[in-house]
């Protein structure tokens, strides 16, 4: 005689047989399609490789439900902040730094009492800002992180990186030294310090070169002005900038002459008065031929040469094409400064 337990087992087997027989004649409607099963499989929240940017509750009801649970405002603030931190980390791994910044910011807005978590949020947001090119914002975040935890090594490293990128090499060295005092063998800090020190030396060299160049140019300009003054040459009034009187006539004359020299540049060519090593002046001279609407430029007209010498070259055997009638001959030309 069969026992009650045996009858129950037989009923279960009969039920399963009936269930399987049903699908021998009728296709299961809730299964994956044969040609698109991988795409459909990826829509299941548990197996998704990447969450959609915008979750549509109608298209992804399961995912929308999970999202509402995860971001439930009734949960403790620490849990909510941690959720945003994890979300930001996922965006960071995907190199979507803008969304990572948003997630970390939302986590910080929770103002939870877990200072360690807030330090991580600030430091991670600094990293995302750094990769976005927002060096100043990144530095502001690492400073906030270090205010909560001065010895946080990641914040120190990222702060040093920011200073290097911003060319604040002295500050970068200081940050590296602070970090190395905590971790003397930290490879990234050692490499950063070496890089910052090298760049600082190059920066200082460039500053010295720029100062020497400026000093040389100023000295040359002073010599040029002196040479013009010694020759008793006066620049015409339109070339002299308007300045208020300082009471020192000699100083005013030099300033006026200097300003006039800067304006002597001919158009975009940039030709100016030159002073050679022998103390001779060369001037840019523009010839105008109103009758034909033509011009000639002598970029460096040496003060010891004559106009006729230049005219002999300009209207010699190789005459300009516009002087087809050969009207311009050196011996017949008159030069006017008007």
The DSSP code sequence of 60-71 is: -HHHHHHHHHHT
Confirm if 71 and 51 have CB atoms less than 8 A apart. no
Question: What pLDDT score does 240 carry?
Answer: 38
pLDDT at 174: 96
Q: What is the DSSP letter of 158?
A: H
Report the half-sphere exposure of 322 (CA within 13 A, side-chain side).
Answer: 9
Question: Residue 285's pLDDT is what?
Answer: 87
- Virtual CA dihedral for 19, 20, 24, 29, nearest 10 degrees? 60
Mean pLDDT per 10-residue run, the chain (338 residues)? 50 62 57 57 51 57 52 76 89 90 92 94 95 94 96 96 96 96 95 96 95 90 85 62 48 55 52 86 87 87 88 82 82 74
CA proximity to 161, closest of 139, 132, 137: 139
- DSSP character string of 227-266: HHHHTT----GGGSPP----S-HHHHHHHHHHHHHHHT--
Sign of the dihedral defined by the CA atoms of residues 156, 161, 163, 169, in that order: positive
Helices then strands, each counted (H, E), the chain: 12, 3
The C-alpha atoms of residue 288 and residue 156 are separated, in whole angstroms, by 67
Q: 281-289 and 294-302 as β-strands: parallel, antiparallel, unpaired?
A: antiparallel
Q: What backbone phi and psi angles, to 5 degrees, belong to 202? A: -65, -40
Instruction: Give the full edge-to-edge strand order of the sheet including 274-275.
Output: 274-275, 281-289, 294-302
Backbone angles phi, psi at 94, to 5 degrees: -85, 0
How high is the pLDDT of residue 185?
94
Please tell me the predicted confidence (pLDDT) of residue 267: 45
Q: How far apart are CA 294 and CA 273, in angstroms?
A: 23
Residues linked to residue 287 through DSSP beta bridges, in sequence order: 296
- Residue 104: CB atoms within 10 A of its CB come to 29
C-alpha–C-alpha distance, residues 264 and 284, integer Å: 8
pLDDT value at residue 321: 84
Q: Tell me if residue 285 falls in helix, strand or coil.
A: strand
Determine what percent of the chain falls in helix, strand and coil, rounding each to the nearest 5: 60, 5, 35
């Amino acid at each position: 005689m069969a026992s009650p337990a045996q009858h129950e087992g037989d009923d279960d087997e009969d039920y399963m047989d009936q269930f399987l027989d049903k699908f021998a004649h009728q296709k299961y409607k809730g299964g994956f399609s044969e040609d698109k099963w991988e795409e459909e499989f990826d829509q299941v929240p548990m197996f998704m490789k990447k969450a959609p940017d915008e979750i549509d509750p109608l298209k992804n009801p399961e995912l929308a439900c999970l999202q509402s649970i995860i971001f439930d405002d009734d949960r403790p603030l620490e849990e909510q902040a941690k959720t945003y931190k994890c979300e930001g980390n996922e965006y960071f791994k995907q190199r979507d730094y803008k969304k990572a910044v948003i997630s970390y910011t939302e986590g910080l807005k929770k103002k939870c009492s877990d200072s360690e978590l807030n330090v991580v949020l600030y430091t991670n947001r600094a990293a995302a800002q750094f990769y976005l090119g927002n060096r100043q914002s990144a530095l502001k975040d690492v400073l906030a992180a270090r205010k909560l935890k001065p010895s946080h090594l990641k914040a120190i490293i990222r702060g040093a990186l920011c200073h290097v990128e911003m060319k604040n090499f002295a500050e970068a060295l200081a940050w590296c030294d602070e970090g190395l005092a905590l971790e003397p063998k930290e490879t990234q800090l050692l490499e950063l310090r070496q890089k910052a020190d090298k760049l600082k030396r190059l920066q200082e060299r460039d500053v010295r070169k720029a100062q020497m160049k400026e000093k040389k140019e100023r000295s040359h300009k002073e010599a040029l002005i002196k040479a013009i003054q010694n020759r008793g040459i006066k620049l015409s009034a339109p070339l002299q900038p308007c300045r208020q009187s300082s009471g020192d006539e000699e100083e005013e004359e030099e300033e006026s002459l200097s300003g006039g020299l800067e304006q002597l540049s001919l158009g975009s060519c940039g030709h100016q008065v030159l002073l050679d090593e022998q103390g001779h002046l060369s001037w840019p001279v523009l010839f105008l031929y109103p009758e034909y609407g033509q011009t000639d430029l002598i970029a460096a007209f040496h003060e010891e040469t004559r106009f006729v010498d230049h005219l002999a070259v300009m209207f010699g055997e190789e005459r300009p094409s516009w002087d087809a009638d050969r009207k311009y001959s050196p011996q017949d030309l008159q030069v006017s400064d008007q």
